[in-house]
Amino acid sequence: MSAFVKLRYVGKKPVAIDNIARTGITWNGHGDVQEVPDFAAKALLKFPDQWELADGGDLEKVEDSDTVRVVDEDGDSVLVEQSDLSKPLERMSKTELKAFALSRYGKELDVKKSTKALIDQIEELEGDIDAKHNNRR
């Protein structure tokens, strides 16, 4: 399972939306702290003028975020490499789709559903994020 990390917004905007890792997580101004998946924290921390770790103890989680642990169709706990999650959704296995949704959106998918149903759920999550982002502009 993907770890969550607390990030503090240190930028100057009254509202900041994660449009880098595309989680849709929103900070309400300078100093606000939100929990984000470790993969997102890794991406956001590349902009130190905008975000910083709220808890220094989370640094290890961010540095060790190259895999996502999920339970596959057989009930086995497996590690999925982040690099496996960069291919098109249609080419991912059910386990990879589950890992993608967990690492990207913090959402658990049911791998007993069809591959098409899992892809539809992910696309719906993506649409929700885009809708939130566009409504705040």
Amino acid present at 95: T
Q: How many helical (H) and strand (E) elements, i.e. helices and strands, does the chain have?
A: 4, 7
pLDDT for 102: 87
CB atoms within 10 A of CB 80: 22
- Interval 5-49: pLDDT, tens: 899 999 999 999 998 887 889 999 999 999 998 878 888 888 889
Of 94, 101, 92, 91, the C-alpha closest to 121 is 101
Full-model pTM: 0.54
d(CA 101, CA 104) in angstroms, rounded, equals: 5
- Interval 50-87: pLDDT, tens: 999 998 888 777 766 677 778 888 887 777 877 788 88
pLDDT for 1: 47
